[in-house]
Structure 1
């Protein structure tokens, strides 16, 4: 049994294994010929839109994409997204600046973990007009008789759904987060956030030399950051400049099943509402017209088959990986189990390159609504790195690699001192 895959109790029986080995010879070759396995969901959307424009026989059912996941529906959010958003309508068409908090609430309900709707409403009620949180999380929890951890989760969802600085405890933190967002976008020098965090008195006194001495940068660099602070930062959330959080289209959707387990869905042709249009009787009566349409029909049917084949292979890979990493998805990095693409390919009877192409650049939406890389389910050191990060936080970084190696071994992660040094460097 390969390392990192389920033990004998989870292995398919002999007949199933034989079927999988047969598929190893047939399906990957088909998908390689189709060339869609490496296509992302965004690329698939573009492909279907282009095909709808070019093909006279391909049509889309009446309706519109769900604003939460993109699934074609008769109108409004799909059933799964309504459940994820606790039954609240997604106000996708709210004009910017007219009711930002209503839009924020709809987006935050897609982000927050299930069962935290009451805490989310409370947190939204504690946001000031500037977008600051008017009390600490523990105080909010005490005032409303809630668990601090649940309030913190609701605040995380609000901050993830809103513009930089939203939900900050004070103006300095709000400005620092606005600066960090500009730095991350390449719109400000890398030291701007440090200037905001440590040198606001120098900014007020127009003293770039003092800020330079404090931060170990040049006065010219400090002056650059001063200019960004004065022109780009505001002591309130910038709703006017904030774009909605970038939501990468998910290729794989992981849902909480009725029995408490995890279910997996991958968009196929029906997801996009695609179908072959019926041929009108008048057209069918003409042999010349039928011959002309036959070529378009063949191409349209091949496209639908390619989309469905991609979905079938990707779903098998994702379903196996999600099932194996259920503990990780439910409890976090500490429960991540070592899993390689090669081991999973062997278990599924696929070629390793097929699994690699299926996983590459794909994204999954987890039950809480977050969109994460599908590759997050793979790896052999995720739990060990998480344990090391926790140890470093507990010790304030003041432990040798040898001591950390020993402590990790006591916690069930036998990691060599040299490997600890490598992990430590990457964490920094």
Structure 2
């Protein structure tokens, strides 16, 4: 089709969807539901997302640019917000939380006051002012804490950070990579809701059926021309080796996940505070493989946990996650800003012996400001409800 035509070829969208950045990751999911007249609007929205997955231009400006009603733009935006990661395309963190809460309420129960807390109490939530939040919602401080914990655990005001990937520090730096988004390679789910439930592990292969070398090719090898017989035989051996290597890799991944779900069962079911500090070297000895085999098996792979969160597979080997979770809980519950030394003493009472310098490091990793800045009431709201920090 010529460039002068006002139409766009159908396969252009399919080609765009093969790129693993956030706009194309979302486009791949909604393309089938888009009317042809809505495609330019969707493209406008998706190309104006920031790294947090939030829309950076007003809806009215998009409507004016395309000469359409605001309601049409809002309909396309709602479709985008329902794609993964939920809430993507929202104009603000508050709107992202509300979109996720609406979707979550369709499949599970949510606290009655959660929507009000988000609509009217965002500032109180971000500053952990649970007493005032309770007064606003007409509930006790304990209930306000429970509502805040539900929001923090199940919702993410920055949808673009909900999927894992690598963030490049500069577009001009050839050594960096942009954020990459993935469907999970492994899905872990519960058999039922009890604490003693069995965990079901599914390996999400990128193919369907069974991979094998076409038997017709093997038969044709007997009738191959003499000058091509050797080449065909070599091709057949390489194909069979490829199939064998893929089967072995998948077998290793199955064994790895079976052992990880046993060792990290409490983390999978109950969250970061229950992470067990294990290493790749320890697991490689248990499975009888080289440590590099474990590293390759988990590299660039993701796992969907029973709560729906998608995390990098190497999070199972994060030996400081449970300590950082305890640190965050201490700061969430502080009545005054505690110094790193005081936090270290409380952690020691909980069985975590860490130096003050390490406390400062972990606090920085969690995006929490020092005591003197927390004391002035200036917390890092952008990190308060992040479920899985970008790695």
- What TM-score do you get using the length of structure 1 for normalisation? 0.46
Ranked by relative contact order (alpha carbons within 8 Å, sequence separation 6 or more), the top structure is 1
TM-score, structure 2 normalization = 0.50
Q: Which one has the largest radius of gyration?
A: 1
